[in-house]
Amino acid sequence: MSAPHLPKVAGIDPEVPVSAQTAAPLREIPAAPGAFIQDRLAGWVSDLTTLHELTERLAATATLDAALNELLHAGAALVGARRGLLVLERAGTTTPSTTLGLGLGPADLGHLETVERSATALGRVLDGPPDAADARDGIATPDLLGDQDLDPRHREVATRLGYAASYALPLASEGAGRLGGAVWFYDEPGEPSEKQRHLVGLYARYATEHLARLTELERARADIATVAEELLPSRLPRIPGVRLAARHRTGPQGGGDWYDALPLPDHALGLAVGSVGGSGPSAMAAMGRLRASLRAYAVMEGEDPVAVLSDLELLLRLTEPARTATALFAYCEPAARKVVLAGAGHTPPLVLGDRRCEYVETTLSAPLGMLACWEAPSVEFSPAPGETVLLYTDGLLRRTGDAMDRAFARLHSAAASVPKADRRDPAAVTDHVLRAMLPDGLDRSDSTEDVVVLAAHFD
């Protein structure tokens, strides 16, 4: 007969032997297992926050130059450097390379260009195979002057400029390919940590995609500007008794503002400005057709500006019924100092001289394409010797950002403030007016408005 089993109490098996040894007292309280993980997570969050802020600042750039400057500064902050150099050159294109320095003057860049390209880390990331390890991780040179195999010219330039280490990284991504490379210089021997390399690598890949988009955008803008210039007069005519000057800038999407100046029989001169509704290639093509048509009508019946615009209205209504346009045409006889003009929904000219600065009173009329039959009376006036007639499009007024009444007052003030020494030079008049109206310049990329200014100075 077997012995009875002892009962189990609280899940303890009494048959299991119990150790007679006692545990040593705890001298230190061990850290919680999650503390290390929490520190790592806090570091990752901080790094991601920094990366997010830098990429947001880069994404806010609208021009290639601004993006390249932002990339150089952000990369220097990520790798802990003070100076840097960036080269943008896309393989297989005719686009010239772009070189930009951070903390380096023109003379410093000149010295760096004297070093053989293959002897520099930047040259190796630019010319090396796209799938090489350097194309992914970059090239660190922690002790440049301690390298016994360093190119003598490179050593001389590094000593002159005072840098002792460098880190070069290609600007490349799977979608955009390789666009160029960047290198950052250290004043003392050193190199970025593994974490810094990882962060700057992520940033550089994002920056490459952004740079590729901006490059294509600027190329498209340049093509649009070229087409717009080809659609406008290549040169202004020379007519005795009058001197001309014109300024024109096309918006980034391409617009329909235009001007023209053409010699007419009997030493007369035809001046025209106008604007086609809309933007883009369609508006530019319509602008070209409208300007060509006006030239033909001006040659046939330029002495009657109303007839010229009436013919233009009929053509626009028959061929492009869904489009509207504004136009102003002036028939000038410089010898007699006589100007006859008519406008269709266009802004009035401004006359500037030593004794007056005033708008020409024109009859209010609808733009072309809005009436079944357009006709408005013409206006005749006589500019005095030394006076300048200023024609312009409303894009000049809209680019100021002011309400139209304030913009007109601003234009009047800008014209009145032209120095007397410049009032006999139509080019100086237009430049002064543009500087006064648009202090930020004509080439602002955030403005969609075209600008046209045409000045005629009567001797």
pLDDT tens over the chain, length 459 residues: 444 444 443 343 444 444 444 545 545 555 555 666 766 666 677 788 888 999 999 999 988 899 999 999 999 999 999 999 999 986 555 456 889 999 999 999 999 999 999 999 999 988 877 666 555 679 999 999 999 999 999 999 999 999 999 999 999 888 888 899 999 999 999 999 999 999 999 999 999 999 999 988 888 777 777 777 777 888 899 999 999 999 988 776 667 889 999 999 999 999 999 998 877 778 888 888 899 999 999 999 889 999 999 889 888 888 888 888 999 999 999 999 999 999 988 999 999 999 999 999 887 788 887 765 656 788 999 999 999 999 999 999 998 889 999 999 999 999 999 999 999 999 999 999 999 998 876 665 456 788 999 999 999
Residue 191 in any domain: the answer is yes
Nearest C-alpha neighbor of 343 from the set 358, 357, 361 = 361
Last residue of a domain, one of 176, 192, 223: 223
Residue 181 in any domain: the answer is yes
Co-location of 189 and 247 in the same domain: no
Residue 32 in any domain: the answer is no
Q: Tens digits of per-residue pLDDT, 56-94?
A: 999 999 888 999 999 999 999 999 999 999 999 865 554
Residues contacting residue 302 through CB under 8 Å, at least 6 positions apart: 264, 268, 270, 308, 329, 331
| Gap between the Cα atoms of 108 and 163, Å rounded | 12
Q: Specify the pLDDT at position 90.
A: 66
Indicate which CATH number applies to the domain containing 193.
Answer: 3.30.450.40
Co-location of 244 and 195 in the same domain: no
Beta pairing partners, 259: 273
Co-location of 246 and 334 in the same domain: yes
Starting from the edge strand earliest in sequence, which strands make up the sheet with 242-249, in order? 242-249, 451-458, 388-392, 350-352, 357-359
Q: Specify the pLDDT at position 95.
A: 55
Co-location of 302 and 357 in the same domain: yes
Co-location of 92 and 181 in the same domain: yes
Indicate which CATH number applies to the domain containing 305.
Answer: 3.60.40.10
Q: Tens digits of per-residue pLDDT, 325-372?
A: 999 999 999 999 999 999 988 999 999 999 999 999 887 788 887 765
Residue 8 in any domain: the answer is no
Co-location of 211 and 241 in the same domain: no
| Gap between the Cα atoms of 207 and 201, Å rounded | 10
Co-location of 138 and 285 in the same domain: no
Q: Specify the pLDDT at position 62.
A: 85
Pairing label, strands 388-392, 98-102: unpaired
Residue 38 in any domain: the answer is no
Residue 431 in any domain: the answer is yes
Beta pairing partners, 274: 258, 327
Co-location of 188 and 289 in the same domain: no
Co-location of 238 and 150 in the same domain: no
Co-location of 176 and 69 in the same domain: yes
Domain membership of residue 273 as a residue range: 232-458
Q: Specify the pLDDT at position 244.
A: 97
Co-location of 103 and 186 in the same domain: yes
| Gap between the Cα atoms of 287 and 346, Å rounded | 15
Residue 200 in any domain: the answer is yes
| Gap between the Cα atoms of 98 and 92, Å rounded | 15
For the chain, the domain total comes to 2
Residue 401 in any domain: the answer is yes
Co-location of 209 and 246 in the same domain: no
Last residue of a domain, one of 164, 199, 223: 223
Q: Which residue reads 């001007």 in tokens?
A: 259
Last residue of a domain, one of 162, 194, 223: 223
Write phi, then psi, for 449 (nearest 5 degrees): -85, 140
